[in-house]
Amino acid sequence: MCGGLHIEMNAFKVLGDLLDGSGWTGALTQANIATSGTADSYLKVSHLTRTRHAHQVTAAALYILLHKAYTEYCSSQEDSDGLQSLESWSENRADASPVSLLVHYSTASTSSTLDHAHEQNNACVKGDGGAVGLTQNVTALQRWMVAGPEI
Protein backbone atom coordinates (compact mmCIF):
# COMPACT_ATOMS: atom_id res chain seq x y z
CA MET A 1 0.00 0.00 0.00
CA CYS A 2 1.12 3.52 -0.79
CA GLY A 3 0.94 6.27 1.77
CA GLY A 4 -0.40 9.76 1.13
CA LEU A 5 2.98 11.08 -0.01
CA HIS A 6 3.45 8.38 -2.64
CA ILE A 7 -0.13 8.70 -3.85
CA GLU A 8 0.36 12.44 -4.33
CA MET A 9 3.70 11.92 -6.08
CA ASN A 10 2.19 9.33 -8.43
CA ALA A 11 -0.75 11.62 -9.20
CA PHE A 12 1.66 14.42 -10.13
CA LYS A 13 3.71 11.97 -12.23
CA VAL A 14 0.58 11.07 -14.19
CA LEU A 15 -0.16 14.78 -14.62
CA GLY A 16 3.46 15.25 -15.71
CA ASP A 17 3.00 12.56 -18.35
CA LEU A 18 -0.08 14.38 -19.62
CA LEU A 19 1.72 17.73 -19.69
CA ASP A 20 4.89 16.39 -21.32
CA GLY A 21 5.17 18.00 -24.75
CA SER A 22 2.33 20.45 -24.09
CA GLY A 23 4.55 23.52 -23.81
CA TRP A 24 3.92 23.92 -20.08
CA THR A 25 7.61 23.70 -19.16
CA GLY A 26 8.45 26.13 -21.96
CA ALA A 27 5.91 28.61 -20.64
CA LEU A 28 7.38 28.38 -17.13
CA THR A 29 10.86 28.90 -18.55
CA GLN A 30 9.85 31.79 -20.81
CA ALA A 31 8.14 33.55 -17.89
CA ASN A 32 11.37 33.20 -15.86
CA ILE A 33 9.51 31.24 -13.20
CA ALA A 34 11.86 28.26 -13.52
CA THR A 35 14.90 27.22 -15.49
CA SER A 36 14.49 24.60 -18.18
CA GLY A 37 15.92 21.85 -15.98
CA THR A 38 13.77 22.80 -13.01
CA ALA A 39 10.64 22.94 -15.15
CA ASP A 40 11.44 19.48 -16.53
CA SER A 41 11.89 18.21 -12.97
CA TYR A 42 8.28 19.22 -12.26
CA LEU A 43 7.17 16.63 -14.84
CA LYS A 44 9.13 13.92 -13.03
CA VAL A 45 8.21 15.14 -9.52
CA SER A 46 11.83 15.31 -8.41
CA HIS A 47 10.82 17.63 -5.56
CA LEU A 48 7.22 17.26 -4.42
CA THR A 49 6.77 20.64 -2.73
CA ARG A 50 8.14 22.57 -5.70
CA THR A 51 6.08 20.50 -8.12
CA ARG A 52 2.92 21.06 -6.07
CA HIS A 53 3.60 24.79 -5.98
CA ALA A 54 4.16 24.94 -9.75
CA HIS A 55 0.86 23.17 -10.37
CA GLN A 56 -0.99 25.38 -7.88
CA VAL A 57 0.34 28.54 -9.52
CA THR A 58 -0.58 27.13 -12.93
CA ALA A 59 -4.11 26.27 -11.76
CA ALA A 60 -4.52 29.75 -10.27
CA ALA A 61 -3.31 31.39 -13.50
CA LEU A 62 -5.65 29.24 -15.60
CA TYR A 63 -8.55 30.10 -13.31
CA ILE A 64 -7.79 33.81 -13.67
CA LEU A 65 -7.64 33.47 -17.46
CA LEU A 66 -10.95 31.59 -17.42
CA HIS A 67 -12.61 34.44 -15.52
CA LYS A 68 -11.12 37.03 -17.87
CA ALA A 69 -12.45 35.12 -20.89
CA TYR A 70 -15.87 34.80 -19.27
CA THR A 71 -15.91 38.54 -18.51
CA GLU A 72 -15.10 39.28 -22.16
CA TYR A 73 -17.91 36.93 -23.20
CA CYS A 74 -20.34 38.75 -20.89
CA SER A 75 -19.33 42.18 -22.15
CA SER A 76 -19.68 41.08 -25.79
CA GLN A 77 -23.27 39.94 -25.31
CA GLU A 78 -25.87 42.59 -26.03
CA ASP A 79 -28.72 40.71 -24.36
CA SER A 80 -27.87 40.16 -20.70
CA ASP A 81 -30.92 37.92 -20.27
CA GLY A 82 -29.37 35.26 -22.52
CA LEU A 83 -26.04 35.06 -20.68
CA GLN A 84 -24.85 31.62 -19.69
CA SER A 85 -23.59 30.99 -16.18
CA LEU A 86 -19.84 30.60 -15.76
CA GLU A 87 -20.25 26.86 -15.26
CA SER A 88 -22.36 26.25 -18.37
CA TRP A 89 -20.22 28.61 -20.49
CA SER A 90 -17.08 26.81 -19.28
CA GLU A 91 -18.57 23.38 -20.08
CA ASN A 92 -19.53 24.55 -23.58
CA ARG A 93 -16.00 25.88 -24.13
CA ALA A 94 -14.53 22.59 -22.85
CA ASP A 95 -16.50 20.74 -25.51
CA ALA A 96 -15.13 23.07 -28.20
CA SER A 97 -11.48 23.25 -27.14
CA PRO A 98 -9.07 20.89 -25.33
CA VAL A 99 -7.37 23.89 -23.72
CA SER A 100 -10.67 25.00 -22.23
CA LEU A 101 -11.15 21.45 -21.01
CA LEU A 102 -7.89 21.70 -19.10
CA VAL A 103 -8.97 25.01 -17.56
CA HIS A 104 -12.36 23.53 -16.74
CA TYR A 105 -10.73 20.46 -15.19
CA SER A 106 -8.31 22.52 -13.11
CA THR A 107 -11.12 24.72 -11.81
CA ALA A 108 -13.38 21.74 -11.13
CA SER A 109 -11.28 20.89 -8.10
CA THR A 110 -12.37 22.51 -4.89
CA SER A 111 -11.94 26.23 -4.48
CA SER A 112 -9.95 25.49 -1.33
CA THR A 113 -7.07 24.42 -3.59
CA LEU A 114 -7.04 27.85 -5.21
CA ASP A 115 -7.43 29.53 -1.82
CA HIS A 116 -4.53 27.46 -0.54
CA ALA A 117 -2.39 28.44 -3.54
CA HIS A 118 -3.28 32.09 -2.98
CA GLU A 119 -2.32 31.91 0.69
CA GLN A 120 0.94 30.13 -0.08
CA ASN A 121 1.88 32.75 -2.66
CA ASN A 122 1.15 35.55 -0.21
CA ALA A 123 3.11 33.78 2.52
CA CYS A 124 6.13 33.47 0.23
CA VAL A 125 6.23 37.23 -0.21
CA LYS A 126 5.40 38.15 3.37
CA GLY A 127 7.82 35.61 4.80
CA ASP A 128 10.75 36.99 2.81
CA GLY A 129 10.50 40.61 3.86
CA GLY A 130 7.30 41.62 2.06
CA ALA A 131 7.57 44.34 -0.55
CA VAL A 132 10.96 45.44 0.79
CA GLY A 133 12.33 41.92 0.25
CA LEU A 134 11.04 42.00 -3.31
CA THR A 135 12.93 45.14 -4.22
CA GLN A 136 16.18 43.73 -2.87
CA ASN A 137 15.98 40.37 -4.71
CA VAL A 138 15.80 40.54 -8.50
CA THR A 139 14.61 36.93 -8.89
CA ALA A 140 11.81 37.37 -6.34
CA LEU A 141 10.78 40.61 -8.01
CA GLN A 142 10.58 38.93 -11.44
CA ARG A 143 8.47 36.10 -10.05
CA TRP A 144 6.16 38.54 -8.29
CA MET A 145 5.84 40.63 -11.46
CA VAL A 146 4.63 37.52 -13.32
CA ALA A 147 2.31 36.02 -10.70
CA GLY A 148 1.77 38.71 -8.07
CA PRO A 149 -0.69 41.06 -9.80
CA GLU A 150 -3.08 38.17 -10.46
CA ILE A 151 -3.04 36.75 -6.92
- DSSP letter at 42? H
Domain count, the chain: 1
Average pLDDT over residues 124-140: 60
Other beta carbons within 10 Å of 35: 12
Residue 98: name the closest of 87, 110, 106 by CA.
106
* Coil, helix or strand at residue 45: coil
Domain hosting residue 68, numbered range: 4-150
Residue 82, pLDDT above cutoff 70: yes
> Among 15-19, 31-35, 89-93, whose mean pLDDT is lowest?
89-93
Q: What is the pLDDT of residues 6-25, one digit of tens each?
A: 888 999 999 999 989 888 89
Q: What is the pLDDT of residues 45-71, one digit of tens each?
A: 999 999 999 989 888 888 888 889 889
- CA 79 remoteness from chain centre: 32
